[in-house]
């Protein structure tokens, strides 16, 4: 019973950390990464379709992405979707492929991105603590219902706190790494 609660809490905390990783993957840092374009949807014959399902995306250089659509007819639609996105990138096309040059980040933009990183880290910390709170309530309810003893509850609470500390440390480490990446010139 106790192990079920702890395993469920660990699974939810793991998801919270994975969400942070996905959020940081699309955060532009001045370095080209195909994951920057993951959230872009292109109007493909009336259907919003993820860009990575319509084209191959590669990063041949540190500051350039190349998008090679499988259907040349959708090149203008891809360009339009990139311009509409909140990335602030200007695509250039030769009819077969689209090139995206990632500009250098200004110092002001870097500081703004650091604030965004810290905000997202705090959101994930809160998510981990909310999972801990839910598990804590379940354990206390189990003790009140006499399903577990006070000693078992105390041990489970200590394990839960250790688990929470481990995940918060992981979130902090991911945040520090992203801050360092953002501040690199």
pLDDT of 7 > 70? The answer is yes
CATH code for position 158: 1.10.132.20
Final residue of a domain: which of 79, 101, 123?
101
The domain total for the chain is: 2
Binned at pLDDT 50, 70 and 90, residue 44 comes out as confident
Q: Tell whether 58 and 114 lie within a shared domain.
A: no
Mean pLDDT on 53-67? 88
Q: Tell whether 125 and 149 lie within a shared domain.
A: yes
pLDDT of 133 > 90? The answer is yes
Q: Tell whether 39 and 14 lie within a shared domain.
A: no
Cα distance between the two ends of the chain: 51
- The parent domain of residue 94 ranges over 34-101
> What's the rounded Cα separation, in Å, for the pair 119 and 121?
5
pLDDT of 38 > 90? The answer is no
Q: Tell whether 80 and 129 lie within a shared domain.
A: no
pLDDT value at residue 136: 93
Final residue of a domain: which of 101, 132, 150?
101
> What's the rounded Cα separation, in Å, for the pair 143 and 96?
66
pLDDT value at residue 173: 95
CATH code for position 76: 3.30.1360.40
The alpha helices in the chain, defined as continuous H runs, are 2-25, 75-84, 107-144, 150-183
Q: Tell whether 110 and 173 lie within a shared domain.
A: yes
CB 164 within 8 A of CB 13: yes
Segment among 72-81, 83-92, 161-170 with least mean pLDDT? 83-92
Q: Tell whether 115 and 178 lie within a shared domain.
A: yes
User: Measuring CA to CA, which residue among 9, 5, 7, 23 is closest to residue 127?
Assistant: 9
Q: Tell whether 111 and 177 lie within a shared domain.
A: yes
pLDDT value at residue 22: 82
Final residue of a domain: which of 84, 101, 118?
101
Q: Tell whether 77 and 41 lie within a shared domain.
A: yes
DSSP classification of residue 185: -
Q: Tell whether 149 and 163 lie within a shared domain.
A: yes
Q: Tell whether 112 and 172 lie within a shared domain.
A: yes
């Amino acid at each position: 019973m106790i192990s079920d609660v702890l395993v469920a809490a660990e699974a939810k905390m793991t998801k919270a950390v994975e969400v942070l990783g996905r959020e940081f993957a699309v955060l532009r840092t001045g370095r080209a990464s195909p994951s920057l374009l993951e959230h872009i949807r292109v109007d493909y014959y009336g259907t919003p379709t993820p860009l990575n399902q319509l084209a191959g995306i590669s990063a041949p250089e540190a500051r350039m992405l190349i998008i090679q659509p499988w259907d040349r007819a959708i090149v203008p639609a891809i360009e339009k979707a990139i311009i509409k996105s909140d990335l602030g990138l200007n695509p250039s096309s030769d009819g077969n492929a689209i090139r995206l040059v990632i500009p250098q980040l200004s110092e002001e933009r870097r500081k703004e991105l650091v604030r965004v990183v810290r905000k997202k880290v705090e959101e994930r910390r809160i998510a981990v603590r909310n999972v801990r709170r839910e598990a804590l309530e379940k354990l206390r309810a189990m003790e009140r219902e006499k399903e577990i003893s006070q000693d078992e509850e105390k041990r489970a609470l200590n394990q839960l706190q250790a688990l929470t500390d481990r995940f918060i440390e992981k979130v902090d480490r991911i945040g520090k790494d992203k801050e360092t990446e953002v501040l690199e010139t």
